[in-house]
Amino acid sequence: MSRIVIIGGGPAGYEAALVAAQLDADVTVIESEGAGGACVLHDCVPSKTFIASSDVVTAYRDTEEFGVNSGGLSAVRVDAGAVHRRVKRLAQAQSMDIQAKLIKAGVTVIAGTARLGEDTLGHTHRLMVNPAGGDAPYTIDASTILIATGATPRLLPDAQPDGERILTWRQIYDLPELPEHLIVVGSGVTGAEFASAYLAMGIGVTLVSSRDRVMPHEDADAAMAIEQVFRARGMTILANARAAVVRRAGDGVEVELTDGQIVPGSHALIAVGSVPNTSGLGLSEYGVSVAASGHVTVDRVSRTNVPGIYAAGDCTGVLPLASVAAMQGRIAMWHSLGEAVAPLRLRTVAANVFTDPELATVGTSQSDVDSGKVPARQVMLPLAGNARAKMAGLRDGFVKLFCRPASGLVVGGVIVAPKASELILPISLAIENHLTVDQVAHTITIYPSLSGSVAEAARQLMLHETG
Ligand SMILES: Cc1cc2nc3c(=O)[nH]c(=O)nc-3n(C[C@H](O)[C@H](O)[C@H](O)COP(=O)(O)OP(=O)(O)OC[C@H]3O[C@@H](n4cnc5c(N)ncnc54)[C@H](O)[C@@H]3O)c2cc1C
């Protein structure tokens, strides 16, 4: 029987373990924090739960327009303690669910840390395990190892988090009160999501963006639309601004920018990306290739350069999404256990930014089209023209669709809308199943519905084709 040892129990690790157990392998997961890993305990699950509370506040915005007198946003009070307790409770419960699922599948779960040991036994690898709780370290041998150790918030040398006023996104749920004025350093996806959620909760937010717009790696039209919403709701966005130092000042904090400007606030959230958890694993001593960024180098079936050692998830830097981590982990197991497996395909990976409104993307991007990498025709339909959007008072957002110039095959899409994460699926399905804009356009959608705009966009591309 193959003995598989997985270091890290996040989506990459636990999904891999479930696949390997299903294929009757002897599987052990060694995880330092708890089943579900950082995804469930610190990052994705807590942030989306926090955002769910901010969505409740958002529902009270502009109620008078609908003839509902609720007292408006100013009457809403957010109980930070209750919100944070709910976040932690849900994360813990999710972790326990995953732990129970692993045990039921026959996976051995060890609480502790592991590193590569020595390659002493021919085709067998040896790991050093440091169990939690102070028991003596020991070794385990494995025919296959999966490194799934994830990533940790990146820190700036002159912005050390203290857990009270200067915070990483993993520390905000320990605050007794919401900040009065939060400075978010970093306007990537994580910075934008938290800036959006705090703004919705009625907190003053200053977003420090090192580029000329927020979310510089996302579709420019979408990022601009969301930036406009942020500004209209009162967020201060400092563009082309780099934080040099973040320090405590009196009862609050101040962020000193590289141009010398001082930005005062009550709290600062540092959201400047993540670094892979790959130091201390003994990778280079073992001969496993690691990029200059610290990410483990893998191919599309999650193999490293060392036979029998695979890596998956955020420690590989392929695409930092839970869905991709899980698929990389599963592929690693299918491959190592001799199952037929298709290499990882990123073409139909949908991604969502959970701002208000949300931003969902899939497939070919505007920059692919603009650079000539993918020849495509496109249409962008503002949601303001959609009947359901009008009824719901939605003025911001759009559906953008890309298709091949001659065949009309759908190749990509961008949606900015509330719950764009749910609306992107028809475009993903179209790409995955090689549907044309004609086929999408002939699908009868519910009237009135926001998804009607997806079919309408397809119809416009049809018209364009024949016109
Ligand atoms: C704020 C935030 C929000 C996010 N929201 C989303 C989202 O909405 N949707 C989405 O798809 N993705 C989201 N992501 C990304 C997602 O969280 C990651 O892609 C996902 O966690 C990667 O899973 P993983 O298994 O690679 O690693 P992780 O989830 O990081 O798990 C790795 C685990 O390995 C453990 N570990 C590390 N070293 C060792 C060792 N030596 N021994 C034992 N254990 C070890 C770590 O403690 C950790 O628990 C978000 C990320 C952040 C930061």
Provide the token pair at 158: 């002159």
Over residues 93-97, the mean pLDDT reads 98
Q: Distance from the CA of 199 to the center of ligand 1, in angstroms?
A: 26
Distance (Å, whole) CA 201 – CA 113? 38
Given the DSSP bridges, would you call strands 252-257 and 151-153 parallel, antiparallel or unpaired? unpaired
In this predicted structure, the answer to whether residue 465 has a pLDDT above a threshold of 50 is no
| pLDDT value at residue 70 | 81
| pLDDT value at residue 74 | 83
Q: What are phi and psi of 457, to 5 degrees?
A: -60, -45
| 22-50 tens-digit pLDDT | 999 999 999 999 999 999 999 999 999 99
Q: With a 6 A CB cut-off, is 404 part of the ligand 1 pocket?
A: no
- Looking at ligand 1, which residue's alpha carbon is closest to its atom 7? 44
Q: Distance from the CA of 40 to the center of ligand 1, in angstroms?
A: 8
Helix, strand, coil percentages, rounded to 5, for the chain: 35, 25, 40
Over residues 52-75, the mean pLDDT reads 90
Q: Distance from the CA of 22 to the center of ligand 1, in angstroms?
A: 23
Provide the token pair at 211: 């580029």
pTM greater than the 0.85 cutoff: yes
Q: With a 6 A CB cut-off, is 326 part of the ligand 1 pocket?
A: no
Cα 284 to Cα 11, 117, 366: the distances in Å are: 25, 11, 38
| 420-432 tens-digit pLDDT | 999 999 999 999 9
Query: In this structure, how many other beta carbons lie within 10 angstroms of the beta carbon of residue 412?
Result: 26
Q: In this prediction, what percent of the chain has a pLDDT beyond 70?
A: 98
Over residues 313-322, the mean pLDDT reads 97
Over residues 302-311, the mean pLDDT reads 97
- Looking at ligand 1, which residue's alpha carbon is closest to its atom 53? 43
In this predicted structure, the answer to whether residue 467 has a pLDDT above a threshold of 60 is no
Residue 120 pLDDT grade (very low, low, confident, very high; cuts 50, 70, 90): low
- For residue 357, whether the previous peptide bond is cis, meaning omega lies within 30 degrees of 0, is yes
| 414-463 tens-digit pLDDT | 999 999 999 999 999 999 999 999 999 999 999 999 999 999 999 999 96
Provide the token pair at 351: 């991604």
In this predicted structure, the answer to whether residue 119 has a pLDDT above a threshold of 70 is no
**Mean pLDDT score of the chain, rounded to an integer?**
96
Q: With a 6 A CB cut-off, is 48 part of the ligand 1 pocket?
A: yes
Distance (Å, whole) CA 66 – CA 75? 17
Distance (Å, whole) CA 37 – CA 79? 27
The residues facing 236 across adjacent strands are 206
Q: What are phi and psi of 236, to 5 degrees?
A: -95, 125
Over residues 276-300, the mean pLDDT reads 97
Q: In this prediction, what percent of the chain has a pLDDT beyond 90?
A: 94
Over residues 3-13, the mean pLDDT reads 98
In this predicted structure, the answer to whether residue 328 has a pLDDT above a threshold of 70 is yes
| pLDDT value at residue 121 | 57
Q: With a 6 A CB cut-off, is 33 part of the ligand 1 pocket?
A: yes
Over residues 264-276, the mean pLDDT reads 98
Q: Distance from the CA of 106 to the center of ligand 1, in angstroms?
A: 23
In this predicted structure, the answer to whether residue 280 has a pLDDT above a threshold of 80 is yes
**DSSP at 71:** -
Return the residue matching tokens 């003994």.
Answer: 282
Exposed / middle / buried, residue 221 (Cβ in 10 Å: 0-12, 13-18, 19+): middle
Q: With a 6 A CB cut-off, is 358 part of the ligand 1 pocket?
A: no
Q: Distance from the CA of 39 to the center of ligand 1, in angstroms?
A: 4
| pLDDT value at residue 122 | 65
Are 201 and 356 in contact by the 8 Å Cβ rule? The answer is: no
| pLDDT value at residue 71 | 83
| pLDDT value at residue 294 | 98
Over residues 2-19, the mean pLDDT reads 97
Over residues 180-202, the mean pLDDT reads 98
- For residue 448, whether the previous peptide bond is cis, meaning omega lies within 30 degrees of 0, is yes
